[in-house]
Amino acid sequence: MQHCLERGHHVIVHYRSSREEADAWLGQHTALKKRAHFLQAELADDPAGIIRAAGRLTGGLGGLINNASLFSPGNGADAEHLRRLLTVNTIVPLMLARGFAHVVKKGWIVNITDAHCAAPSARFENYRLSKMLLNEFTLRCARNMAPRIRVNAIAPGAVLPAKGDEGATFKALAKNIPLKKTTSIASLLMALEFLIDNPDVTGQILYVDGGWHLTDTEHSRAR
């Protein structure tokens, strides 16, 4: 939000329950506040309705970032868990993208996937599969929505520790990453800016991960 507002965009911040951080930041940056719009919704309820409501807030949409996700351990033994992760991480982004393409003449979509979803994972298999499928949909949508809508993805590496990880496990990850470091938010924002601005780029999965996707490190040791 912060980065896009500073670049002059109107930003619709969709949230389900966490609004406090954005509010606190806007409280200190009142000049930018008039271009920030909030939209509260459970994503799985009515994705097309969210796009319509977003359009009404600003009078038109130019871009869509699919960032919300569920990250929790689970594998094929838990079909209900797989259903929930596929809904939020894969099907909702696809439905938002379709709703967006329906109402926008020319624009861009950036899906946030995950760099480390190629290697099998014993604990996070359902999450991994949901993000792999989102990668696949990114490519298909790029093909199907051209020339009006450019569709790309950012595949972040290890950016933030998972809840409950005191930091030690997360820090230890760096030694298995080719560039020997975890990924900064600043690097992700550079990637986002590139994908928003470059009019010739569509159908890219941009790995911002220090080369982590080139390794077979177990995902369960990630966030």
Is 42 among the residues that bind ligand NAP (CB under 6 A)? Answer: yes
Decide if 127 is catalytic: yes
Please provide the distance, in angstroms rounded to a whole number, between the alpha carbons at the two ends of the chain.
22
CA 39 to chain centre: 17
Is 21 among the residues that bind ligand NAP (CB under 6 A)? Answer: no
Stretch of residues binding ligand NAP (CB under 6 A), selected from 64-72, 73-81, 142-150, 171-179: 64-72
Is 198 among the residues that bind ligand NAP (CB under 6 A)? Answer: no
Distance CA 11, CA 30 (A): 14
Q: How would you list the strands of the sheet with 205-208, edge to edge?
A: 63-66, 107-112, 149-156, 205-208
CA distances from 105 to 9, 65, 100, 143, 186 (A): 18, 17, 9, 16, 30
Is 88 among the residues that bind ligand NAP (CB under 6 A)? Answer: yes
Is 160 among the residues that bind ligand NAP (CB under 6 A)? Answer: yes
Give the number of residues in contact with ligand NAP, rule: CB under 6 A.
Answer: 20
Q: Which residues pair with 36 in a beta bridge?
A: 11
Stretch of residues binding ligand NAP (CB under 6 A), selected from 2-10, 54-62, 74-82, 152-160: 152-160
List CB contacts of 92: < 8 A, sequence separation 6 or more.
43, 44, 47, 66, 68
Stretch of residues binding ligand NAP (CB under 6 A), selected from 39-47, 49-57, 144-152, 171-179: 39-47
Is 158 among the residues that bind ligand NAP (CB under 6 A)? Answer: yes
Residues noted as catalytic: 127
Interaction site with ligand NAP (CB under 6 A): 15-18, 42-44, 67-71, 88, 112, 114, 156, 158-160, 223
